[in-house]
Structure 1
């Protein structure tokens, strides 16, 4: 196996690129554990993506992983994983370089917030280095019932819908629409508590979502398309991310 390329090493953890098939298999095993899929979590996109592993230095334990698919612009969005579930026609006019963040997960027995910081720091370095202007992906809620997430979906509808010019349309056969006939005020605290950490991180940086969630029974999740134009990230947040990445 090739010598791994270290992206970031701070404190107890380091983030590195996968160096071969064994590393990818380890990431797939962690994904299978986190997403609780019946079969091993692997797909044809794995061979096209860059895989990032976050490990505890002392033990070598794999505590977090994600994959990244680089796209030269909106014209090739149909090559993305997300395009299987969302009609991304509106985004095809996006001219800048894009990157799809996928299969982001943290080992359930490792809840140290530094893990997420290291992962985002490594991601920031990759995004900056590749000149990515839009980061996107599917942010997953556990399970396929919308009931536990009604406050989250209402908050997303009220505050975080994608700009009309980029908003994904429906493609999947089974969706949960956010629009309601009688709008109400979402309970912000409950809404944020029920959201996955990845989605909260996107939103804190200026991210936005589709107007519906996809019911993905194979992965046993509900997910929303999530986009983030890197130029829209607040300067203070950029400084924090780059401080970690540096």
Structure 2
């Protein structure tokens, strides 16, 4: 059972109906424009992690994890609705899909992301996870404002061919094929979601196209990270943060 305290924040597994309601309410503010909480059929299959400010008890971050015994179960994942993941079906190790990651808009403390990765690292180690994957989301559905980010992903961070997801949905932006510009690295990093930046620093990779998700008002790229590919120095830092 995940339980981690660092500085002003504590991460723990959601345990009760009230915890799940808090998770869904926090997600609603990030992914939905209406009043209804954000929920779907995958919630019942996932482990939910809730990060709270210790002093106030305010939920400041959450995410969910779906564990798969191997790539043979990849079609049970949320991401498989949007990507053809056949090339990952032969992955032999335990996988975990991380999704619905969000941080409360009123909290910008970078320690929140550090605590989140600490909790995720503990989950990975305790469950023998060999690959993390999921959908990294960009706010809105207009690709143009993220052209520099997508150009940077094209040049430096595309998935290896043995894992590269294929197109499955009709509404997408094929940035690896369409973009010809050289990226402005400073602008690219400014518009890149913090979670995706963290994945890439650790050796993560992305699909060659972004999916337009009208339901959640986002663009997202499939993101993968082989745990064995994390640089040793970075892995040590992650495990220190998980203590």
Q: Please state which band the TM-score falls in when normalised by the shorter chain.
A: over 0.9
Aligned counterpart, 1:9: 5
Match of 1:169 among 166, 190, 194: 166
Could you tell me how far apart the structure 1 residues matched to 2:136 and 2:116 are?
16
Structure 2 gaps of 5+ residues are none
Could you list the per-position Cα deviations for residues 184-230 of structure 1 after superposition, in whole angstroms to 9, with x for gaps in the alignment? 32111111110100100000000000000000000000000000000
Could you tell me how far apart the structure 2 residues matched to 1:6 and 1:134 are?
19
Match of 1:152 among 140, 149, 153: 149
Aligned counterpart, 1:219: 216
Give SS of 1:93's match: coil
8 A contact 1:208–1:227 mirrored in 2: yes
8 A contact 2:74–2:89 mirrored in 1: yes
**TM superposition shift of 1:37:** 3.7
**TM superposition shift of 1:6:** 5.3
Could you tell me how far apart the structure 1 residues matched to 2:140 and 2:172 are?
13
Aligned counterpart, 2:196: 199
Establish whether residue 234 from structure 1 lines up as the match of residue 231 from structure 2: yes
**TM superposition shift of 1:179:** 2.5
Q: TM-score, normalised by structure 2?
A: 0.97
Establish whether residue 114 from structure 1 lines up as the match of residue 111 from structure 2: yes
Give SS of 2:89's match: helix
Aligned counterpart, 2:101: 104
Q: Provide the alpha-carbon RMSD of the alignment.
A: 1.1
Change (3 A) 1:60 1:74: same
**TM superposition shift of 1:36:** 3.0
Establish whether residue 18 from structure 1 lines up as the match of residue 14 from structure 2: yes
Structure 1 gaps of 5+ residues are none
Could you tell me how far apart the structure 1 residues matched to 2:228 and 2:149 are?
26
8 A contact 1:37–1:218 mirrored in 2: no
More displaced stretch, 8-17 vs 184-193: 184-193
8 A contact 2:2–2:123 mirrored in 1: no
Aligned counterpart, 2:131: 134
8 A contact 2:50–2:63 mirrored in 1: yes
Establish whether residue 34 from structure 1 lines up as the match of residue 30 from structure 2: yes
Give SS of 1:118's match: helix
8 A contact 2:71–2:91 mirrored in 1: yes
Q: TM-score, normalised by structure 1?
A: 0.96
